[in-house]
Structures are given as C-alpha cells and as structure tokens.
C-alpha cells in the first residue's frame, strides 16, 4: 500500500487526523429531471458528518439573467435544504486575464440569488476556476481583489483552482481553499503528494481533485492519505470531464471509512504523547428542511473542479499556466 506512511510518526500526522476533509464537488450538469442530482442528495443525507462543497455552474458562470431557470432553482434549493451542504458559484478568471468587471458582475449575480423569495437558492461562496499559480504580484493582486469582492457580497467561501502548486503563499491569504492538485488518479499514485502542496497550516487549505479514477479503484486509500495529510477537500471522479455524478456515493462512503481509519490509534503513528486520536468532522444534521419535488432538467457532480460544465468537454486551456486545473470552464448546459 503506497502512500501516507511518510507522515507517520510526525506531529503533522497526529494533528491531521482531527481535521475534517470536505467533498468538493463540481456539479456542472444541467438538472434535466428530478433524478439527475439525486445521487448528490442521497450522499449528503446519508453522511451528515461530512461537509459537501458543491460547485454550481449554470452557464460558465451564473448566466445572463437575474435568477436561473426554474429547474435549476429547484435543484439549488434542494441542495440548500441539507445543513452539511454549501453551494458555491462557478466563475473562471482565465488565469487572471479576464476583465475584472465581468468577474465582479458575475459575483454580483450570484450574490443576488439570495433575494429570491420563493425558494432558498442562496450561494455561499465562489469557486474561481483557471486561477493563476505563478509568483507574480499583479496576478496575486488580481486574485486578492476578486476574493475581496466575493466576500463583500456575502459570498464568504473563496476557492481558487490553479490545479497545481502555487508559487506564492500570498494566494492563501486571499483564499479559503486552493486546489493544488488536479490531475489523473494514476498520476496521484505515482507521485509523492506532499511535494505537490504548499505546506501552510498543515495543508488544511489545500484540495485535490482526481479524474479518470475507475469506480473499481481504491478510493479509500487515497482519501485516507488525504485525510492524514490534513487536506481541506477532495474529490475523485471516474470520468475525465466531470460530467456525471457516478462517483459521489463511493467518494462519500470511502471518506467516511478513511476518517474512521485515521481516528484509530496506531502505535506506528505515535509521537510519544497520547496515541489516542479523534476525528473531528462537523456533526451536522442533513435531513432536508423541506420536501421538494423537482420539475424536469439534468445534473452532475465531481469535486473540485474545473472544466467544462457539460458535454462536450472543452479542450484544456492553452497558455503559460499548467495544463490541468486548466480544464477550462465552458457551458453549464447544453445549447
């Protein structure tokens, strides 16, 4: 079993087992009927001690209307009925080259969803896709500005997705979470994960998204390693375009098992102090606060992260930034 033994016997390992790793799920597919997002609802209800940060993306952002279409309203409202779910809005920055006024406008639109009276479609934060990672003061300033705009609009959870390790820790001052590893499942297995994350606050602001992870893969071992490292969020999907929710049930179950494993005392992980550890996952009640019948439209889920919101999946962005984490935005629904 490859993996996290390099952390055992360290103070970091002892600290990380009490951290809570969220599921970061890019839900980019349009909800075409009331069953499309059902796997997400079921996973949230079945695992009340796990937090789900679910990224919604109606149309490469919030779209051009004040509120989304009725089917999307129903879906987001259902997500908000679970107390362990946080709904995050998708915005892409084109590696901090996109007109910042456009970014601010999309942030404002998401913020305005909270004023919808008939159902709760409040958005809690912004997922900034195609975020820069390089050590450049102009890029850092850009991301600091869009983060500040989000928070001033009561979108208080800010996530950056460069998809690779950032070169300047100042990015962490502007974000609550940064996806520093967005790559294939096989690449994760052949890497040394600790080398791919900036060591700040015990990795608690780092997140990982793995694609092309077959459903027959050992998700639990990956998530046990993620949890033991103390990473803030994770997701695995069996596709390479985040275009279905097939893996969310397996991810949630594997994370629950991983939390149980990492909370068990282990002589090999003792640092001389107490060998007893506990898992701190926010104990939340996920029973829906209201029953909701969804009309008809389609949905997805995946963690983390970035790429096209719907099939056909977009080509990775070109440019100076790394290739993945660059899985570019594009439409949140079919034409």
Q: Quick one: which of 154, 164, 161 has its CA closest to 175?
A: 161
- Please report the pLDDT score of residue 147 as a whole number: 98
> How many CA within 13 A on the CB side of residue 96?
23
Q: Give how far Cα 91 sits from Cα of 95, 293, 307, Å.
A: 11, 28, 11
pTM for this structure? 0.77
- Please report the pLDDT score of residue 9 as a whole number: 35
- Please report the pLDDT score of residue 200 as a whole number: 65
- Please report the pLDDT score of residue 241 as a whole number: 84
Residue 214: Cβ-neighbour burial (10 angstroms; 0-12, 13-18, 19+):
exposed
Q: Quick one: which of 197, 116, 106 has its CA closest to 155?
A: 106
CB distance 116 to 165 below 8 Å: no
- Please report the pLDDT score of residue 18 as a whole number: 35
- Please report the pLDDT score of residue 237 as a whole number: 94
Q: Where are the domains of the chain?
A: 4-269
CB distance 258 to 218 below 8 Å: no
Give CA–CA dist 261/258, Å, rounded: 5
Beta-carbon contacts of 329 under 8 Å, excluding residues fewer than 6 positions away, are 57, 60, 61, 90, 92, 129, 130, 306, 307, 308, 309, 314
- Please report the pLDDT score of residue 202 as a whole number: 66
Using CA atoms of 110, 73, 298, 250 in order, give the dihedral in degrees to the nearest 10: 80
Q: Does domain 4-269 have CATH number 3.20.20.80?
A: yes
Helix, strand or coil, per DSSP, at residue 254: helix
- Please report the pLDDT score of residue 245 as a whole number: 82
Q: Quick one: which of 247, 215, 217 has its CA closest to 234?
A: 247
Residue 320: Cβ-neighbour burial (10 angstroms; 0-12, 13-18, 19+):
exposed
- Give 75-127 as a DSSP string: HHHHHHTSTTEEEEEEEE-TTTTS-HHHHHHHHHHHHHGGG-SSS-----EEE
Low-confidence ranges of the chain (pLDDT < 70): 1-19, 200-202, 262-335
- Please report the pLDDT score of residue 243 as a whole number: 82
Euclidean distance between the first and the last CA atom of the chain, given in angstroms as a whole number: 45
Helix, strand or coil, per DSSP, at residue 149: helix
- Please report the pLDDT score of residue 199 as a whole number: 75
Q: Quick one: which of 112, 103, 116, 23 has its CA closest to 60?
A: 103
């Amino acid at each position: 079993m490859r993996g996290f033994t390099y952390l055992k016997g360290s103070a970091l390992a002892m600290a990380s087992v009490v951290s809570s790793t969220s599921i970061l799920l890019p839900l980019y597919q349009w909800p075409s009927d009331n069953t499309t997002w059902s796997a997400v609802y079921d996973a949230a209800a079945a695992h009340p001690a796990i937090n789900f940060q679910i990224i919604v993306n109606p149309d490469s952002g919030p779209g051009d209307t004040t509120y989304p279409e009725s089917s999307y309203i129903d879906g987001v409202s259902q997500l908000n009925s679970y107390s362990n779910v946080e709904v995050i809005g998708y915005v892409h920055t084109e590696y901090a080259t996109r007109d910042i006024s456009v970014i601010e406008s999309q942030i404002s639109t998401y913020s305005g969803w909270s004023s919808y009276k008939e159902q709760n479609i409040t958005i809690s934060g912004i997922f900034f896709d195609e975020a820069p990672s390089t050590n450049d003061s102009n890029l850092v300033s850009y991301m600091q500005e869009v983060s500040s705009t989000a928070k001033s609009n009561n979108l208080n959870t800010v996530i950056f997705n460069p998809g690779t390790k950032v070169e300047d820790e100042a990015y962490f001052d502007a974000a609550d979470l940064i996806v520093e590893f967005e790559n294939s499942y096989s690449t994760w297995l052949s890497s040394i994960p600790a080398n791919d994350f900036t060591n700040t606050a015990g990795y608690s602001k780092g997140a990982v998204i793995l694609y092309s992870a077959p459903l027959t893969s050992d998700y639990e071992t990956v998530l046990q390693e993620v949890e033991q490292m103390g990473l803030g969020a994770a997701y695995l999907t069996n596709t390479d375009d985040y275009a279905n929710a097939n893996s969310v049930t397996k991810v949630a179950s594997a994370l629950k098992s991983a939390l149980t494993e990492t909370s068990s005392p282990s002589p090999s992980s003792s640092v001389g102090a107490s060998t007893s550890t506990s898992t701190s996952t926010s104990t939340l009640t996920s029973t829906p606060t209201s029953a909701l019948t969804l009309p008809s439209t389609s949905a997805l889920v995946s963690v983390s992260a970035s790429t096209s919101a719907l099939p056909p999946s977009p080509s990775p962005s070109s440019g100076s930034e790394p290739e993945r984490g660059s899985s570019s935005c594009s439409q949140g629904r079919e034409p």
